[in-house]
Structure 1
Amino acid sequence: MKFLKSLSVQVMIALALGVAVGALAAAYGGDPARRIVEGVEALGGLWLNALRMTVVPLIFAVLVTGIAQVSDAAATGRLAVRGVAWFLALLLLSAVTSVLLVNGVLAAWPVSETAATALRAGAQAPPAGIATAPDFAAWVKSLAPANPIKAAAEDAVLPVVVFAVFVGFALTRLPAARGKTLTEVFEALGDAMIVIVRWVLVVAPLGVFALGLGVGLRAGVGAAGVLGQYIVVASLAGLVIAVIGYILAITVGRVPVGRWATATSPVLAAAFATQSSLACLPAMIERSRDDLGVPERIANLILPLAVAVFRFTSPAVNLAVCIFVAHVYGIQPSALQYAGAVFVALAVSVGSVGLPGQVSFIVSVAPICIALGLPIDLLPILLAVEVVPDIFRTLGNVTGDMAVTAILAKGELEPEPEPATSQA
């Protein structure tokens, strides 16, 4: 069957099988089965490390090239500059909303300690002292890494991101030929890391199966409930951002509710089916132009630019994943750690646009987890159930893209037609 060829479906099946086999081994296999499962589980750790080794070079490369891309786009004119400004403001709104929303939801609906123990069963414990954040002075000093290579080796992701941002903007100030050469080097590095990640993801079902064995061995199927809670929380974050996009279009863009619903309905249907903003681009342009009355020159500039550099739900859902992981481990990040995580979330949301879904999940979420002082060992298990939240990511992204386009269309006047010259 066709759906079984989907990597996401294969990974979900692998996780379910791993948990089931591990639970059976624990219940009926005795010590020999336990030793075999633990040996296979080590292969899951190897697979996880293969993913982990690409995170820092990949995030550095995509940030540098992403900043160059945004700079090039902004150079195309005043409308593009206004578009990029709206993108950045809405990404910040998305991140802050998620921090408040998800922590509030999990305060009202806390993760069960028993279920959290079950989900942690196949993963390492957080390093000692991980919940300890530096004071404000030390945090500010750490933003500029004295040794970027040392910061990367120590997984100090926030200083690495700051350094990448500086490098990206510095490249845009070099003479065109020299800046382009270095940008192409970083682009090639990012492409090489993506190739490696794709190689690793080819065997994702086996890696997730091996990690699932550990969960099943130590906790049986007790982790199923907390995975369901994760799906609800992450999907809710994406849904709320989509609703905010709706509200902005109606209030700021002054689009009548009925017209907005008519314009977005076919686009949202395409987003639900494809889970790809890029695949929805033709429909977004057509509906914005025909149903919303957006001038063609605005739709043809802003919507491709939005698909290229703007994912409205990315900071919200990525932070929701990380906050959920923090609650599973019982870790409470400090305000400074949240500030750093929001900055990282904004940066990687721009840098990772256009990456394949499984790749973007790892490259977007892992740096935020590290910035919050969280282990990333649960991410492959959460990746296995990312199919549902990913639908809400796409729904929110296309809503945000069309909302910004409608808002910018309100502030842009069409050029006056040339006055007709009378014939003598």
Structure 2
Amino acid sequence: MRLSQPTRILLALVAGLLLGLASAASGGAWVERAISIAQPIGGLWLNALQMTIVPLVVSLLVTGIAASAEAARASRLAGRALILFIVLLWISSALAMVLTPLFLDIWPLPVESAQALRSALAGTEAVGQVPSFADFLLSVVPTNPVTAAAEDAILPLILFTVVFAFAMTRLPAEPRETLTGFFRAVSDVMLVMIGWILWLGPIGVIALAYVVGAKAGGSAFGALLHYVLIISAVGVVIWLLSFPMGAIGGRVGFGRFVRAVSSSQAVALSTQSSLASLPAMLRGAEKLDIPVKASGIVLPLAVAIFRFTGPAMNLAVVIYIAHWFGMTLGPGQIAAGVAAAAITTMGAAGVPGQASFITSIAPICLAMGVPIAPLALLIAVETIPDIFRTLGNVAMDVAATATVARRSGFDEDEPLAEEDRLLRAGSDASA
């Protein structure tokens, strides 16, 4: 039976760690030579992933903002939904700065495990320089966006790209569509390249995992388990926030909202796909008496560009890596991380599968001066946190739809129009 890409990478991680542990236990003189061979192999794979980040982030941000502007122009309801999405993404990002340190204080990574892991990854990538808050403010606006891209100054590059994309939306239709098509083609090419690189992922992961296993020993397994639990805990809290949001924003009882989203939650748990959960989400919106003329606009838009758990869980990963390397995050790094996590999520929503893990989190690492190298290992254990990502995204999609619909005058007692009956019949047939 053909193994999925996440399964292949996870098996490569386990195999690499076990081989590293066995090599260290043997105590042979050849172990250092094996490490010296494996380390650059893993580094090459990581560099290959990193080379796609800047062009992909820029192209996705431009096309994402262009698509959002088109939706806002097409419908006032879509415009209100976009405003709510942006507010929720920033809230999600800010919550990560509270929840992650809190969970790490309650259950810190053992000191010996952190030291062993730092030693194992020594030389793979240096920790970035910690900027002061004044330096952060001065660096936000780039003097040269090309230089910012070349130096991986990701936050100034993001700011320039956002301004460029909004300026592009003011152009006449023909040049605007030409530019959008160009950046869409760039993002498609980058995704093809990332697909090739991830296909080689087991080679890079097994090489890096071998180095970690040989240098860090059995503490590597415990550290990875600790990481999964911390990031999943952040995801669980963000997921649970969607239920009071739906009940209060949608003006329905808490129990009624829970029942309405239960089927979409089951689909999300089994498929780990927001898109696959869309028919169940539409039925859940129907149970909340939301007209299809509202849910049929907001829910597909949410599935396309809105990932509520993304900023919180992506930033949590970066904070965890900083904790792993013993970094003390300053105000400038915190502000840069919150901004990068909130802004890049809307662009990253269209990135499929494991590619989104690297392309969403690496820009935050670059913005905060946090090493990227651990991402090559952490991507292999993303399967469990990804469950809570999908559950939270699906629940908040319905909650945001209910909130926008109610606050836009779609009363639950409003008689069902004939067009809504036809639309609902169509959604049931497609489901």
Using structure 2 for the length normalisation, give the TM-score: 0.92
Give deviations 1:266-299, integer Å, cap 9, x for gaps: 111110111110111111012211x111111011
Note the 1:9-20 alignment, pairs <5 A. 9-20=7-18
Alignment of 1:159-178 (within 5 A): 159-178=156-175
Q: Which residue matches 2:372?
A: 376
Aligned to 1:217: 214
Q: Which residue of 2 aligns with 1:190?
A: 187
Displacement of 1:347 in angstroms is 1.3
Which residues of 2 match residues 353-372 of structure 1 at below 5 A? 353-372=349-368
- From 88, 96, 116, the counterpart of 2:86: 88
Whether contact under 8 Å (2:116, 2:215) holds in the other structure is yes
Verify: 1:295 aligned to 2:291, yes or no.
yes
Residue type of the alignment partner of 2:277 = C
Once residues 249 and 66 of structure 1 are traced to their aligned partners in structure 2, the CA distance between those partners, rounded to angstroms, is 25
Relative distance call for 1:39 and 1:411 in structure 2 (3 A) is same
Aligned counterparts of 1:140 and 1:120: Cα–Cα separation in 2 = 30
What is the match of residue 106 of structure 1? 104
**C-alpha deviation, 1:128, in angstroms:** 6.8
RMSD in angstroms over aligned alpha carbons? 1.8
- Among residues 386, 396, 401, which one is paired with 1:405 in the alignment? 401
Q: Provide closer, same or farther for how the CA distance between residues 184 and 258 of structure 1 changes in structure 2, counting only shifts above 3 A.
A: same
Structure-2 change in CA distance of 1:82 and 1:328 (3 Å) = same
Q: Please report how far the alpha carbon of residue 265 of structure 1 lies from its aligned counterpart in structure 2 after TM superposition.
A: 1.1
Residues 271-328 of structure 1: CA deviation (Å, up to 9, x unaligned): 0111110111111012211x11111101100000101111000001001100000000
Shift in Å at residue 225 of structure 1? 1.1
Bigger Cα displacement from structure 2, 404-413 vs 80-89: 404-413
Secondary structure at 2:29 match in 1: helix
Q: Is the 8 A contact 1:242 1:399 kept in 2?
A: yes
Measure how far apart 1:127 and its partner are. Answer: 6.9
Would you say the 8 A contact 1:122–1:211 is kept in 2? Answer: no
- Whole-Å separation in 2 of the counterparts to 1:125 and 1:115: 18
- 1:342 alignment partner, one of 338, 349, 367: 338
Q: Mean Cα displacement is larger for which, 144-153 or 34-43?
A: 34-43
Counterpart-to-counterpart distance in 2, 1:125 and 1:407: 49
Paired amino acid for 1:211: L
The residue type equivalent to 2:333 in the other structure is Q
CA distance in 2, matches of 1:127, 1:382: 15
Amino acid paired to 1:273? S
In the aligned structure 2, how far is the partner of 1:147 from the partner of 1:294?
Answer: 48
Does the residue aligned with 1:110 lie in a helix, a strand or coil?
Answer: coil
1:321 maps to 317
The one-character-per-residue Cα deviations of 1:170-199 (angstroms, maximum 9, x if unpaired) are 110111100111111111111111111110
How far residue 37 of structure 1 moved from its aligned partner, in angstroms, is 3.6
Q: Which residue does 1:237 correspond to in 2?
A: 234
- Call closer, same or farther: CA 1:152–1:102 in 2, change over 3 Å: same
Aligned partner of 1:72 in structure 2 is 70
Equivalent residue of 2:132, what SS? coil
5+ residue gaps, structure 1, are: 419-424
Q: Determine the C-alpha separation between the residues in 2 that align with 1:97 and 1:37.
A: 39
Q: For residue 201 of structure 1, what is the aligned residue in structure 2?
A: 198
* Counterpart position of 1:273: 270
* Pick aligned residue for 2:252 from 247, 250, 255: 255
Alpha-carbon distance, 1:119 to partner: 2.6
Shift of 1:417: 7.9
SS in 2 for 1:357: coil
Aligned-pair CA distance for 1:354 = 2.0
Q: What residue in structure 2 maps to residue 422 of structure 1?
A: none
Does residue 142 of structure 1 match 2:117? no
Tell me which amino acid in the other structure corresponds to 1:239.
V
Give the match's secondary structure for 1:169. helix
Indicate the larger mover: 311-320 or 150-159.
150-159
TM-score normalised by structure 1 residue count: 0.94
Structure 1 segments (4+ residues) deviating >6 Å: 126-129, 415-418
Alignment correspondent of 2:425: none
- The aligned counterpart of 1:332 is 328
- 1:60 aligned residue (54, 58, 63): 58
Which SS does the other structure have where 2:28 is aligned? helix
Shift of 1:126: 8.6
How far the C-alpha of 1:17 sits from its partner, in A, is 0.7
Count of paired positions = 414
Quick one: distance in 2 between partners of 1:410 and 1:270? 25
| Alignment partners' CA distance in 2, 1:126 and 1:329 | 13
